[in-house]
Structure 1
């Protein structure tokens, strides 16, 4: 299968980057084709500008948006790996969704309502946050994050959510705990996307 990993963390020494390396290696080990789009390394411009919208309505999609849309079009599975900041997506990833999952590419409107234009693709998300997972679970934040990303983004455009991992207390764990989380990433990849 063709996998696209969209990665959003500014530090190459971060735990998120270790997750990226683990996920990509597990997919490659299982014989999948993997393309990584590291939004910070790419210096992706996240601000949706008026001229972007005007150009897209005129059928002249800006090249940086068009490039990312081509990667999405070719992918069978899209994986997002990112930290939860202020209970949401990092700005660079939110801007990626704003600009790349655009009207006419990812969705449109028909007589029956929303037309999901990325149907047939699968989506997988891995999130980290500093708050203990039990707290996010108890206050409903985990469920809220799943709704906004799995339903509000993926399902809205037709991408089938097939998995979502949340890792809490990041920055406050010991080495063995981090190894265990990376093993969970690897095990989940092997389960969802076997050879």
Structure 2
């Protein structure tokens, strides 16, 4: 299978990058093809400008957007790896969604006003970290809200089937043994979800 992993953390020494490397190694060990788009390393421009908006509406897709859309089009599986900041996506990843998951590429409106999902047949996975203990997010409804806005609001909206959403809480507060266990969970889950 062809995998696209979109990563969004500015620190290459972060736990998010450890998750990224764990996922890549697990997939490659199973014989999958993996492409990583590290948005910070790429210095991806997240701001959807008026010029972008106009160009997208007329089919004149800016080259940086076109390149990312080609990666998505050729992927069987799309995985987003990112930290939860202020109960949402980091700005660079939100901008990636704004610019790349564009009207006419990821979705469209039918003549009757219904949504046409333009990315069917693809699978999606989210892997997130956050500083708040998971039990708090579970009890106050935040875990469900995060899944709803990303799983349903982004991937499913475009026809991508979400196969899982892993959330790891209190990452900055736990010890290395706990983080190693989290990485083991990533490796095991990724290995079990996707067969060549």
With structure 2 as the length reference, what TM-score do the two structures score?
0.98
Structure 1 residue ranges without an equivalent (≥5): none
Q: What residue in structure 1 maps to residue 135 of structure 2?
A: 134
Q: What residue in structure 1 maps to residue 185 of structure 2?
A: 184
Q: Distance between the aligned counterparts of 1:174 and 1:82, measured in 2? A: 20
**Structure 1: 4+ residue segments shifted above 6 A:** none
Q: How far is 1:56 from its partner?
A: 1.4
1:77-118 deviation per Cα after TM superposition (whole angstroms, max 9, x unaligned): 000000000000000000000000000000000034000000
Number of corresponding residues: 195
1:144-170 deviation per Cα after TM superposition (whole angstroms, max 9, x unaligned): 000000000000000000010000001
CA-atom RMSD in angstroms: 0.7
Q: Distance between the aligned counterparts of 2:156 and 2:56, measured in 1? A: 23
Q: Distance between the aligned counterparts of 2:195 and 2:179, measured in 1? A: 23
Question: Is 1:24 matched up with 2:17?
Answer: no
Q: What residue in structure 2 maps to residue 156 of structure 1?
A: 157
Write out aligned runs for 1:48-87 (5 A): 48-87=48-87
Q: How far is 1:53 from its partner?
A: 1.1
With structure 1 as the length reference, what TM-score do the two structures score?
0.99
Q: Secondary structure at the match of 1:61?
A: coil
